[in-house]
Amino acid sequence: MIPSMSEVKEFLKKLGFDESSANELIEQIEYFEGEAPQRDDIVRDYLREECIETIVDDIVEEILKLNKENIKLLDIAAGSGFFTERVKRKLEERRVKVDVYALDITPSMLKRLKERKITPIWGVAEKIKESIKIANEYYNINVPEKFDAVISTLALHHFLKPEKVLESMKDVLKESGKVIIVDVLKHEHEEFKETLKDTHLGFTLEEVKEMGSKIFKEVKANYMDVYCEVGDIIVGLYKAVFA
Ligand SMILES: C[S@@+](CC[C@H](N)C(=O)[O-])C[C@H]1O[C@@H](n2cnc3c(N)ncnc32)[C@H](O)[C@@H]1O
């Protein structure tokens, strides 16, 4: 279930990416291949323990509002599964039976997910449905087509086409389901494009709402009571919920 780089290139072709888009994605993968072994420590470094807990609690509370005993959950650009695992554990503590799947484009991140016993799916966030189809056919697995909750943490600002990612999330969301996104608010630190491979310098709440309202009927975006520390730079976080 963990592709080699040549399989990744083959999948990107199957997904219809032209050479220049595929190369942009490969650049992201190469960066995150380097980050994968330290991803958990990087998250702990960016966020204090109470911030991590707040993020997990906020996501879990949103999922509990669905009022379901069984949840199919998909984490998009899940990375090492740091948050995926904590969200799963907390839902189970709240007596929700949860089937968890995690999609990421970087093979070494998928390895970490597998070690955490979370089903890894190689895929591109802009084409979730198509990526799941490829994974199911190629690895003879049975990942569902639709989910009750689609979550994503600290990733929206990395995507080349965030609006496309939201559309792609909608494609795999059940009628009654919801998308929950936690990510960084707009900031002015251009250097993060170089040092952290950020594509966008975060988003304002207005930008997030505008993007969401083109795709979803219900759109909420709020400041969170947590922040991210990158060295001595402090960046705020938001939570967006789309249904
Ligand atoms: C900053 S990390 C966030 C990881 C995790 N969600 C967390 O909170 O620790 C961004 C992740 O996005 C993945 N990624 C970047 N572009 C992607 C894309 N187009 N499709 C799927 N995954 C992508 C990277 O491989 C990386 O694991």
Q: What is the pTM of this model?
A: 0.98
Specify the residue with its C-alpha closest to ligand 1, atom 14. Answer: 77
Distance of CA 88 to the CA centre of its chain: 14
- Quickly list H helices, the chain: 5-14, 19-35, 39-46, 49-64, 82-93, 107-115, 128-139, 162-171, 192-195, 205-213
* Cα–ligand 1 centroid distance for 21 (angstroms): 17
Q: What is the pLDDT of residues 2-22, one digit of tens each?
A: 999 999 999 999 999 999 999
| The pLDDT of residue 29 | 97
Measured by CA distance, the residue closest to atom 26 of ligand 1 is 79
Expressed as residue numbers, the domain containing 113 is 5-242
User: What is the reported pLDDT for 22?
Assistant: 97
Residue 214: other Cβ atoms inside 10 A: 10
pLDDT in tens, 99-124: 999 999 999 999 999 999 999 999 99
Q: Is the pLDDT of residue 1 over 90?
A: no
**55-81 pLDDT per residue, tens:** 999 999 999 999 999 999 999 999 999
**Predicted local distance difference test score (pLDDT) of residue 209:** 98
Asked whether 28 lines ligand 1 (CB < 6 A), one says: yes
Q: Cβ atoms within 10 A of the Cβ of 30, count? A: 12
Average pLDDT over residues 210-237: 95
Q: Is 83 in the pocket of ligand 1 (CB under 6 A)?
A: yes
Task: Report the C-alpha dihedral over residues 99, 132, 145, 120, rounded to 10 degrees.
Answer: 0
Predicted confidence (pLDDT) at residue 194 exceeds the cutoff of 90:
no
- How far apart CA 87 and CA 226 sit, in angstroms, is 17
CA–CA distance, 229 with 191 (Å, rounded to integer)? 15
Protein residue with least CA distance to atom 9, ligand 1: 79
What CATH number is associated with residue 92? 3.40.50.150
Instruction: Give the separation between CA 206 and CA 212, rounded to whole angstroms.
Output: 10
User: For residue range 27-54, what is the model confidence (pLDDT) as tens digits?
Assistant: 999 999 999 999 999 999 999 899 999 9
Q: What is the mean pLDDT of the chain?
A: 96
Query: 10 to each of 47, 48, 93, 129, how far by Cα in Å?
Result: 36, 39, 40, 17
Task: State which ligand 1 atom lies nearest to the alpha carbon of 43.
Answer: 9
> How many structural domains are present in the chain?
1
